[in-house]
Chains A and B, each alone.
Chain A
């Protein structure tokens, strides 16, 4: 048998259900792995060992009684530290919330608890999910398990690194402009950004409300489908949550791609792709054709403006969402101010890092009187055009594919001083959030030993179809490489 920490969730579930291993054994394997590699990778802001042991014991006890312990029981999970967990510190990677204990569970956390959630820790992230490398964490950067000199991507870098390094079997991330897919791509994992409204945002600390979605990060498409099915579904506490039945995502796997119409948006495969990324993409497209799909070029002309629109809309919403962190009710308060305004100023100056401040200022400016129409109003129009571009493309194509990121994982410190080049890292993923459509990233090859991700985009609420295509490609690609963070290099 493989090392337990390295197995897929569905494999572990099957062993657990047959009681060939116990949840306690699985957890021990993961906790041991954390001891072994966490010092190098640093996936977690908080490791919740005690809570995890209780959950594993409860899962074992339930199974011993012959009861259904729940679909997530005993399979160790990392939860991005942007999701509220009752009584468990939730920092959002910020000094502002360094010691913040939520009084309630995010809806997704609550749903997973009902399915026996075994949470091993709260994963590191870029502060308030703003960033593409996890270097914007106020606490420490997380390293890429494939190469400790490189970033794991971001902002859900801790979640992805934990799963890649064997410190968790699967993870929750959040994706506002690529924050699930890009780290999944950098760490050789499967990550899915659901349709806006498929998964509840209640308890997800908001970055950009109209773009944020919670989603799974996993080791293969099956795990991804399994976790998505536990997250999805209407939540009366989220007004933007969509009504309707959730399809059986697992049942969709194995359907093949014969006759599938695949479009490759010209705008997403222009300059800036590394040779390795380009080769991996071409290889995946060739495999799709071999399996009977029809691949051709697509054009979504307004995608050229997606990045600009995104960097108006997201900061504008963030500037308002982050206004509540003022030192009055919770979180950091810098004492000693002479009056209220000074307290606000000092608290926010000390509590927020440079990237968060940059975006708050950008967003405040974009919404200010006299500039609103020129910036926010214009960006919303672009967003509408992008939505129309996708609708048009999906009249011709069943799915669209592109690289998830133009490059594999970049070096630590390489882009941190240059926000614009950091922003460009998300050029392929951002349009998906603006359009509210689902997309999945799957590993599709290596570029100089580093994983490359393929992004598959689908129509609104077409997750089952996306997963079917992803699964077919996964089988054809036979991506088997694994990192070895203990040694510090990929193999």
Chain B
């Protein structure tokens, strides 16, 4: 047990899944030819004015409600002023001291334990463009020039700030997993970290275990996956511990996670604090959300992961662990429920998804949406096992092929002749053969070594390429051996 306790708070940015940008009608989707999704407004040309996207407000409200926030009946936008070439106006329109949602919380489960993370605020802001530094390294130092792509400029962003309630890297990861799943269930964001539609920075400090005073924190950036978040925080805990143990002081600074080198490095020393000169955006009117609006958004909230977990446990009798894994993403849960709806045994479907399917996805680095197998096909395969048409062992190889080819279990089984042999007559000969060929083992059995029968079952399975019904083989063997014929 470490002498230190980590105190972690997260700042998350999620791009909202609106069809148009935050303050103009441009396409807000990812990608596109550089600067093809721009107009005078998101390019910040002289004379333009912002008009707030109502859908962004609806989506933000949806998430804020799901995170148990209070929705401000009156919130406003500020200008955050700083110069950077990817920001067309050299100010960002963002909510500041009157955000849309405040004072929420989220219950998260990690390692079988539940913990609560406070949500300080949820607010709306606009995204920036993207700078491409033209040099060998792709970084600004040593670059000849830089190019700007403003397709992303003005895409609606939600900023979610947590209280410093997280204590371990595992909790941080579990929180992000849960938040992502919530956003997917709410359909407010694509949550693709690799495309930058979900980003997370962490503030982390250490303090002696048992102390309530906060230590000096660092801010860690550039964590592009949940794994990176967990590893970066683990590294940072170790690093800060080393600094403190050797009697040093942690510098308050922003650090950059280098996933290749597995270290955080100081990004910039804060010689001076940035002064963003926030002031209320005069080009927008206050955002007034009345009770009717909030109620109408609330009424359309879909089932959230926590509710779904509870339902999966109650309706299908699944263990808690299964329910957590099956709600780790909306697609996972949807796949599972569709398979059960198609007639799969609930526990069997869960086992297949948590076992073979998850292993396959991990190995291939794929998302569940990308596999060619449909929930109905999984159900079909499970039914074949249930009916005894194929054995569990055969089913594994059938499923592997289903994942590769997208064909149904029935097709594969028929084509490869994998149907389980449950016909006594057909098996009788093979059983007789095995008994003949393994006289010494038979002898062992007769001397009272009952376990010797499993070896003989194995031999029958081998001879039938696994197609024999193992239970039937077992029965036949016992009958023959005991019967003495």
Contact = CB atoms under 8 A, between A and B. Distances in A.
A359 B79 CA distance: 18
A102 B47 contact: yes
B320 interface: no
Contacts of A372: 277-279
B88 A240 contact: no
A452 to B, nearest CB: 33
A365 B169 CA distance: 42
Given A210-B282, A323-B81, A368-B277, A238 B49 contact: yes
Contacts of A206: 46-47, 283
A338 interface: no
B89 A329 contact: no
B45 interface: yes
Interface in A418-459: none
B45 A103 contact: yes
Contacts of A92: 46
B89 A376 contact: no
Contact of B46 (A102, A319, A340, A376): A102
A203 B85 contact: no
Contacts of B285: 239-240
B282 A364 contact: no
A214 to B, nearest CB: 11
B83 A344 contact: yes
Contact of B47 (A204, A329, A340): A204
B392 interface: no
Given A240-B285, A326-B83, A320 B279 contact: yes
A201 interface: yes
B52 A239 contact: yes
A437 B277 CA distance: 28
A199 B273 CA distance: 40
A384 to B, nearest CB: 13
A103 B40 contact: yes
A129 to B, nearest CB: 12
A369 B275 contact: yes
Contacts of B89: 323-324
A5 interface: no
Nearest to A380: B280
Given A320-B79, A367-B81, A239 B50 contact: yes
Contacts of B49: 201-202, 237-240
Contact of B279 (A90, A204, A367): A367
A324 B148 CA distance: 15
A370 B377 CA distance: 65
B81 A239 contact: no
Contacts of A84: 45-47
Interface string A374-392: 0010000000000000000
Contacts of B283: 206, 209, 239-240
Interface in A247-281: none
Contacts of A330: 45-46
B214 interface: no
A78 interface: no
Contacts of B273: 369
Contacts of A201: 49
B76 to A, nearest CB: 12
A203 B40 CA distance: 10
Interface string B453-468: 0000000000000000
Interface string B141-182: 000001010000000000000000000000000000000000
Nearest to B274: A369
Interface string B47-85: 111111000000000000000000000000001010101
A136 B440 CA distance: 112
Contacts of A324: 44, 46, 88-90
A326 B44 CA distance: 12
A201 B283 CA distance: 10
B4 interface: no
Question: Which DSSP category, helix, strand, loop or mixed, fits chain A's interface?
Answer: loop
A239 B284 contact: yes
Contacts of A344: 83
B316 interface: no
Contact of B282 (A100, A209, A326): A209
A320 B148 contact: no
Interface in A317-332: 317, 319-320, 323-326, 328-330
A237 B88 CA distance: 18
Interface string B276-315: 0111001111000000000000000000000000000000
A368 B83 contact: no
Given A239-B51, A367-B277, A323 B46 contact: no
Given A324-B89, A369-B275, A106 B81 contact: no
A202 B50 CA distance: 9
A486 B156 CA distance: 57
Contacts of A97: 46
A106 B47 contact: yes
A203 B46 CA distance: 7
Contacts of B85: 326, 328, 340
A205 B46 contact: yes
Interface in B33-49: 40, 43-49
Nearest to B284: A239
A204 B283 CA distance: 12
A364 B52 CA distance: 26
B275 A368 contact: yes
A243 B252 CA distance: 50
Interface string A295-325: 0000000000000000000001101100111
A260 B227 CA distance: 75
B51 to A, nearest CB: 5
Interface in A53-84: 83-84
A336 B329 CA distance: 52
A314 to B, nearest CB: 11
Contacts of B83: 323, 326, 344
Given A90-B46, A320-B79, A237 B91 contact: no
Contacts of B44: 324, 329
A87 interface: no
A323 B91 contact: yes
A201 B51 CA distance: 12
A475 to B, nearest CB: 38
B47 A203 contact: yes
Contact of B43 (A202, A325, A329): A329
A340 B49 CA distance: 27
A147 B473 CA distance: 118
Interface string A185-209: 0000000000000000111111011
Interface in A223-243: 236-240
B40 A104 contact: yes
B279 A376 contact: yes
A106 B49 CA distance: 11
Contacts of B40: 103-104
Interface of B: 40, 43-52, 79, 81, 83, 85, 88-91, 146, 148, 273, 275, 277-279, 282-285
Interface of A: 83-84, 90, 92, 97, 100, 102-104, 106, 201-206, 208-210, 236-240, 316-317, 319-320, 323-326, 328-330, 340, 344, 364, 367-369, 372, 376
Given A201-B49, A317-B279, A323-B81, 19 more contacts: A83-B47, A102-B46, A102-B47, A104-B45, A204-B47, A205-B46, A206-B47, A209-B283, A239-B52, A239-B283, A316-B279, A320-B79, A320-B91, A320-B277, A323-B83, A323-B89, A367-B81, A368-B275, A372-B278
Nearest 10 interchain pairs by C-beta: A323-B90, A209-B282, A367-B277, A210-B282, A205-B46, A203-B47, A84-B47, A205-B47, A328-B85, A369-B275
8 contacts: A103-B40, A203-B48, A239-B52, A240-B49, A320-B277, A323-B90, A323-B91, A329-B43
